[in-house]
Amino acid sequence: MAKTILITGSSRGIGASTALLAATRGYHVCVNYLQNKTAAEKIIDEITAIGGKAIAYQADTSSETEVASLFSKIDRDFGQVTALVNNSGILETQSRLDQMDSDRFQRVLKSNVLSCFLCSKEAVKRMSTRYGGEGGAIVNVSSIAAKTGSPNEYVDYAASKGAIDALTIGLSKEVAGEGIRVNAVRPAFIYTDIHASGGEPGRVDRIKNTIPMKRGGQPEEVANAILWLLSDEASFSTGTFIDITGGR
């Protein structure tokens, strides 16, 4: 069976690194992006250069209509998705909760949680033996913020990642008998440009000496964990989490 992977929000950072690594593992790669077409096409070019197969798909993964259309296009181009990485997400400017408004909170929940729910729903309908599928694997990109709460910076983001953790556990139990494994990674202190969205591009360098390993992480280190969870090497793992935080 051909392996087809969809990685949401994969034009940059962890998603882009995961797309490149998946291509080396023989996956047909579906690179999803919201706005940055140029970055997505760059990833496609890099995958093509190493002999892989990839297509970029523009879609707002927090829109039920656009997600349904996205999966239909992948069905047409590559066949049904066998691996899904729910990586879409946003981070807003550092703030205390009492300085946030409800519009911000809803934006974060919509992008970070609803997108995961909608994409997982479509993936299950294709992977599950209950629907005639042949199984598959889902990895959700959570954050260590789900455990720490990220006080004085991003409690809204932390709350959204806590929801991802709960979804991971619940869905893993729902579909464990239907050939689908659902796991998650909880990265933190990774060198990606998401920190600029929070208003502090150099955040990792500021705090790296408080990390037991005394350094920040690289997107490739998260991608390695994601691909392991998707692989047959993790065949007895579901509803589990890998924290990628340098020991903090």
Active-site positions?
157
Tabulate helix, strand, coil % of the chain (nearest 5).
Answer: 50, 15, 35
Neighbours of 45 (CB within 10 A): 10
* Spatial contact of 216 and 204, defined as CB atoms under 8 Å apart: yes
CB within 8 Å of 169: residues ≥ 6 apart: 239
HSE at residue 128, side-chain half, CA atoms within 13 A, is 17
Region at 31 (left for phi over 0; alpha for psi -120 to 50; beta for the rest): beta
